[in-house]
Amino acid sequence: MKFQKSPGTQDILPGAVEKWQFVEDTARQLCRRYNFREIRTPIFEATELFQRGVGETTDIVEKEMYTFTDRGERSITLRPEGTAGVVRSYVENKLYGEPDISKLYYIGPMFRYERAQAGRYRQFHQFGIEAIGSTEPSLDVEVIALGYSFYTEVGLKDVTVEINSVGTPSVRAAFREALLGFLEPKRSLLCKDCQSRMDRNPLRVLDCKVDQKHFEGAPSILDSLDEECRSHFDKVKQGLSDMGIPFTVNPRLVRGLDYYTHTAFEYKAQGIGAIDTIGGGGRYNGLVSDIGGPEQPGVGLGLGLERTILLLEHQQVEVPGKHGLDVYVVALGDAADREATRLVYELRSRGIRVERDYGGRKMKAQLKSADRLEARYTAILGDDELNAGVIALKEMATGEQKSVPITSLAEELLQGLK
């Protein structure tokens, strides 16, 4: 029987995984500078958490969740996103009782049953941050800035930031009426999805890629904002301008999750087929209480790592962090092989990156491996060397070769590798 990976999943093999490690390291370093600390929550949660948190009428909850009943008859869902689980954990562990606001980050797999295409997977990975405990617009700005810095620091160019205010639930209710007033006469012109969205989640209609031509003159949510929403939004825009972060206001930006209030934003870039959104987030002032916690406001983002890596490839960004090898130990003959086993252990214990031959192959084959693995040095051990207590050490770049006592090989290498 032959097995293949499931549609929409990926194997990340050596050679590609170095890019992932680089991107993840960049995220972690950035979080350290911004004082966000890592949180690890379960990959699966009670289904109801996502129904309540993400929203019953969202595509994610309606069509995309991996939901199953476990042996204890509980309905379980593989997390389709990170925010609901982090907020659940924040409430369950009473992090709101701590004197400072909670600034949390996570990196990990998420699951959505979507139609697989370039940049869209069923298991994908997000770098996400959540800052819970303050309504300050400066925190929205900090979150947007962190995401922007992430893209810049991994080496991407031409990433744009779009922002909007989606107001409060009461602002949205008023806007909903105004919008439906505009859409109702056009109902029959709109696509099927939009017609059904009009009944369930009309704000998402404006997001439709097909029907844009019918939306000219549509009311803008920005005209429905009350004083508080407007002032918050103004401060966010001011903060971004003060930092010199370029952004555009997109009044049609709605996001695919229901928990947002006030600020919503997305990072966009060209180069991944039809997909242009590479990350997004926003403020969620009602989510903590919606899932049973106290009134605590939050703001956060989620950045897709597959999309980041696809763009790095598209823009041909050289990422640092090749696998690399310090020394390849070539052993010829049984006695040398035995000594090599001991020696590579010693070298590795001293922090040196070492590989050796495992098949008792001929010298030529072993040297070829050393070349392929781009070892900086080759150390050759045969019977003659072994009897004399030395090893032949060759620096690959220069071709320079010398005989070194086996007992001082580690020292010699550590000097040379400096």
Name the site residues for ligand HAM (rule: CB under 6 A). 81-83, 112, 114, 119-121, 124, 126, 128, 130, 256-257, 277-282, 300-302, 304, 306-307
81 is in an annotated binding site: yes
Shortest CB 199 distance to ligand HAM, Å: 22
Nearer to ligand HAM, 219 or 239 (CB): 239
Shortest CB 237 distance to ligand HAM, Å: 19
Shortest CB 76 distance to ligand HAM, Å: 19
121 is in an annotated binding site: no
123 is in an annotated binding site: no
Q: What is the DSSP string of 53-75?
A: HH-TTSHIIIII-EEEE-TTS-E
For helices 83-92 and 47-54, angle between their N-to-C axes, nearest 10 degrees: 110
Shortest CB 211 distance to ligand HAM, Å: 21
d(CA 259, CA 261): 7
H or E stretch covering 256 = none
Whether residue 279 contacts residue 303, with contact meaning beta carbons closer than 8 Å, is answered with yes
Closest C-alpha among 335, 295, 339, 289 to residue 88:
289
Nearer to ligand HAM, 138 or 407 (CB): 138
Nearer to ligand HAM, 256 or 382 (CB): 256
Nearer to ligand HAM, 167 or 302 (CB): 302
259 is in an annotated binding site: yes
Q: What is the DSSP string of 91-119?
A: HHTTGGGSSSPEEEEEEEEEE-----BTT
355 is in an annotated binding site: no
Of all residues in this chain, which one has the CB nearest to ligand HAM in the complex? 304
d(CA 219, CA 203): 11
Shortest CB 275 distance to ligand HAM, Å: 8
Shortest CB 107 distance to ligand HAM, Å: 12
d(CA 113, CA 122): 5
d(CA 150, CA 411): 39
Nearer to ligand HAM, 208 or 335 (CB): 208
Residue 178, SS3 per DSSP: helix
Shortest CB 193 distance to ligand HAM, Å: 17
Closest C-alpha among 281, 236, 279, 284 to residue 260:
284
Residue 45, SS3 per DSSP: strand
Nearer to ligand HAM, 79 or 356 (CB): 79
Shortest CB 300 distance to ligand HAM, Å: 3
126 is in an annotated binding site: yes
d(CA 147, CA 300): 10
Whether residue 67 contacts residue 73, with contact meaning beta carbons closer than 8 Å, is answered with no
DSSP classification of residue 389: T
Nearer to ligand HAM, 103 or 307 (CB): 307
Distances from the Cα of 361 to the Cαs of 332, 336, 340, 369, 408, in angstroms?
8, 13, 14, 10, 26
CA atoms within 13 A on the CB side of 206: 22
293 is in an annotated binding site: no
Shortest CB 83 distance to ligand HAM, Å: 4
Residue 10, SS3 per DSSP: coil
H or E stretch covering 38 = strand 37-38
Nearer to ligand HAM, 66 or 96 (CB): 66
Nearer to ligand HAM, 118 or 363 (CB): 118
Residues 6+ apart with CB under 8 A from 12: 20
Binding residues for L-histidine: 81-83, 112, 126, 130, 255, 259-260
Binding residues: 81-83, 112, 126, 130, 255, 259-260
